[in-house]
Amino acid sequence: MPELPEVETVRRGLAPTFEGALITGVDQNRADLRFPFPADFAGRLSGRRLTALSRRSKYLLGDVDGGEVLIMHLGMSGSFRIEGDDADQTPGRFAHARGKDQKHDHVVFHLETADGMRARIIYNDPRRFGFMDLVARPALADHPYFRELGLEPLGNDLSGETLARLFAGRKTTLKAALLNQKLIAGLGNIYVCEALWRTGLSPKRSAGTLVTKTGRPTKKAIELAGHIRATLEDAIRAGGSSLRDHRQADGTLGYFQHAFAVYDREGEACRTPGCTGTVSRLVQSNRSTFYCPVCQR
């Protein structure tokens, strides 16, 4: 499943073409993806202008004039490509050949861009685990997808003080607490492993141990908040991490996986300077956790 940096990378790739564009038509090539499309999906978007493209957790949100929001989720294998009328291939640099099987092109947005050019944004999803929906903007916060989501880890709210408030009294493991989408939205397995390694914290440690008896954040809680943000920002700058099916909007692969310190590096030497440990793997909540048992305490 693409994580927050991959979704943010896709958003940034789509924004120059999608934002401000008039949707002149929509080809909806099937009745459903993971869930059925909303009633009159193509008709409600045709003739509308997409005024802004944002992200909430792992969801892409396209505001259209008229007050509705186009919700898009990539699922496991969903991706977008951008094509102009005079283009014979998807732009971008490819590490692997990209599939062109049109039977997986489930939605095509025909656009007149803000600068008057014609373009198509095509949603391709072989496994059909992604989905799209249309929701009135005032109802978005209370929608089932969003009403229980926690804070954005790249927002101004993430701090040591915030982590202390969220983790106070929690006996669950630190890894489980960070993956709890009701606390922090969008953090996934890869980047939690990397942020914990950067902070020198064990994924098995109780989340409540980052809070003092007076409810204040420990030094490690303050460091962890900074490392979460830095890890995500580094991954976004690298274009995300390309595992299995994920591609950016232009078809290129992300490269943050080449900078992994612990994720998927079981048996390799820890990269912490001076550490003699070896990266280990354990299973927590049916997910692989990678960490160094020597320097992560």
φ and ψ of 38, to 5 deg: -65, 160
CB count within 10 Å of CB 233 equals 13
Q: Is residue 58 flagged as an active site residue? A: yes
Work out whether strand 280-284 and strand 22-28 pair parallel, antiparallel, or are unpaired.
unpaired
Contact between residue 6 and residue 246 where contact means Cβ atoms under 8 Å apart:
yes
Name residues whose C-beta falls within 8 Å of residue 240's C-beta, 6 or more positions apart in sequence: 2, 3, 5, 6, 8, 9, 246, 248, 254, 256
Contact between residue 184 and residue 224 where contact means Cβ atoms under 8 Å apart:
no
In the set 58, 81, 170, 265, the catalytic residue is 58
Q: Is residue 220 flagged as an active site residue? A: no
Identity of the amino acid at 124: N
In the set 16, 112, 287, 293, the catalytic residue is 287
Q: Is residue 36 flagged as an active site residue? A: no
In the set 3, 19, 194, 223, the catalytic residue is 3
In the set 2, 5, 203, 217, the catalytic residue is 2
| Catalytic residue list | 2-3, 58, 287
